[in-house]
Amino acid sequence: MDANAVIGPAWYCGLALAAVLGDAFLPFLPSGTLVILAVLKTGQMGGSPFLLAAGVAVASFLGDLLLLHLARRGAPAVHRRLARRPRLAAGVERVQRALAGRAGRAAAAIVIVARFVPAGRTVLDLAVGHSPHRPWTFLRWSAVAAVVWAGYIVSLGWLNLHWFDTAWLSFAVSCAAATAVSSVVVQLVRRRRKLAVLVEGA
């Protein structure tokens, strides 16, 4: 097998995993788009989507864990960011109040849905990080949410790769579908009071 053919997809996968890890801090990173691109590139070589999905899930969970750790330790960069963005700070407070009154399935729903709301993951991580309560329950559901989102985004790219003959069409349809799903989730969230704080704070 040509070494260049292997190195190319590996770069795409590395870039995608870095974006998934980093978008907890920088929600404007196109992590979903890069994961879809990595799926298409590795899929053309017969690579395993399960391995890529596992990597995406781990990167997603580690991003949450790192931002949560920095927030709980009172990292100056986190405080500066909240000070510069009053809307984000207010959103963090609203999510804290919402989580304080939820347990079990309600809390799990907030954590999982946050993965599909633009910037919802950032708001949620900061809210839990600034909470006086121990984050063990959050981390458990964060791991579940990471697996759900990774399975969803990788499956989206993989299915379109096999439905369309051309890579560019697969990529375009996958990105359009991901955007549409995200928009639908945001609209549904706006109609549910217990989840609306994610949209308000994002």
pLDDT value of position 14 = 92
Average the pLDDT over 117-140 and give the result: 82
The answer to whether residues 89 and 181 touch, using CB atoms and an 8 Å cutoff, is: no
Q: Is the per-residue pLDDT at 22 higher than 60?
A: yes
Phi, psi torsion values for 179, nearest 5 degrees: -65, -40
Q: Of 4, 15, 40, nearest to 162 (Cα)?
A: 40
Higher pLDDT, 53 or 29: 53
pLDDT over 90 for what percent of the chain? 23
The pLDDT of 76-94, averaged and rounded, is: 74
Band of pLDDT at residue 4, cut at 50, 70 and 90: very low
Per-residue pLDDT at 137: 80
Exposed/middle/buried for residue 156 (C-beta within 10 Å: 0-12, 13-18, 19+): buried
Q: How far, in Å, are 31, 113, 143 from residue 59 at the CA level?
A: 11, 18, 10
pLDDT score at 151: 94
Residue 102 has phi, psi (to 5 degrees) of -120, 155
State how far the Cα of 11 lies from the Cα of 8, in Å rounded to an integer.
Answer: 5
Q: Does residue 35 register a pLDDT over 60? A: yes
What would you measure as the largest C-alpha separation in the chain, in angstroms?
56
Mean pLDDT, residues 79-93: 74
Categorize the per-residue pLDDT at 5 as very low, low, confident or very high, splitting at 50, 70 and 90: very low
End-to-end CA distance of the chain: 45
The set of long-range contacts for 165-172, using a CB threshold of 8 Å and a minimum separation of 24, is 167/40, 167/44, 170/40, 171/36, 171/37, 171/40
Q: What is the pLDDT of residue 192?
A: 62
Q: Tell me the helices (H) and strands (E) count for the chain, helix number first.
A: 10, 0
Q: Which two tokens stand for residue 117?
A: 């709301």
Mean of pLDDT over the chain: 80
Chain position carrying tokens 């304080």? 100
Contact between 65 and 139 under an 8 Å Cβ cutoff? The reply is yes
Instruction: Judge whether residue 75 has pLDDT over 80.
Output: no
